[in-house]
Amino acid sequence: MEYLKIGFIKKPHGINGFIKLLPLTENFSRYNKLNKIYLKINSHYQEEEVEKSIIANDTVLIKLKNINNIEDAEKIKSVYVFISREDGLILGKGEYYTQDLIGCDFYFENKIVGKVVNIENFGTCDLFIVKSDNEEIYYPFLKNYIDLIDIKNKKIIINQFEGFFT
């Protein structure tokens, strides 16, 4: 089975087993539709039934069926939350799952600049983090700087702005 990373368990919330989740998606309403999730613990995916989800501003709280107190919730703190790919949202044009972008070769003028190792956001926009032979490059994930994203062939072609690589 293929999995999609959708959150990170920050900490327990209250004494009844709720967990506070850092969402890794812009669509918070998707958490209200979850019936099951997978926790990645020691390289294994553990299926958990979702009992209840609460969305409040930028906070996502989840109650899992088998987590009933603060002690149980504490045991899964700092664990990533996944869903099966088949339960993922259908993406629109120009939308991508982050994990599909990671590992793509990053090209400029028919030359490989490096490989995408992560996507981060430091406040202004998402950034590709590209590992080249001798450095890590942060490149803006903005439509006007990207000519092609080909997930199938793991290839991203950029049209660098003046002086970016000098």
Kindly report, residue by residue over 47-89, the tens digit of the pLDDT.
Answer: 999 999 999 887 899 999 999 999 999 999 999 999 999 988 8
Q: How confident is the model at residue 134 (pLDDT cuts 50, 70, 90)?
A: confident
pLDDT of residue 84: 94
Nearest CA-CA partner of 13 in 73, 76, 66: 73
pTM for the predicted model, two decimal places: 0.76
Question: Which candidate, 132, 68, 124, places its Cα nearest to that of 106?
Answer: 132
User: What percentage of the chain exceeds 90 in pLDDT?
Assistant: 62
What is the greatest pairwise CA distance in the chain? 56
Domains of the chain: 3-87 (2.40.30.60), 98-158 (2.30.30.240)
What is residue 162's predicted lDDT score, i.e. its pLDDT? 64
What is the secondary structure of the chain as a DSSP string? --EEEEEEEEEEETTTTEEEEEE-SS-GGGGGG-SEEEEEETTEEEEEEEEEEEEETTEEEEEETT--SHHHHHHTTT-EEEEEGGGSPPP-TT---HHHHTT-EEEETTEEEEEEEEEEE-SSSEEEEEE-SS-EEEEE--GGGEEEEETTTTEEEE---TTTT-
Share of the chain above pLDDT 70, in %: 96
Distance CA 119, CA 140 (A): 10
- Would you say the C-alpha torsion 141, 91, 114, 122 has a positive or negative sign? positive
Predicted confidence band at 28 (pLDDT cuts at 50, 70, 90)? Answer: confident
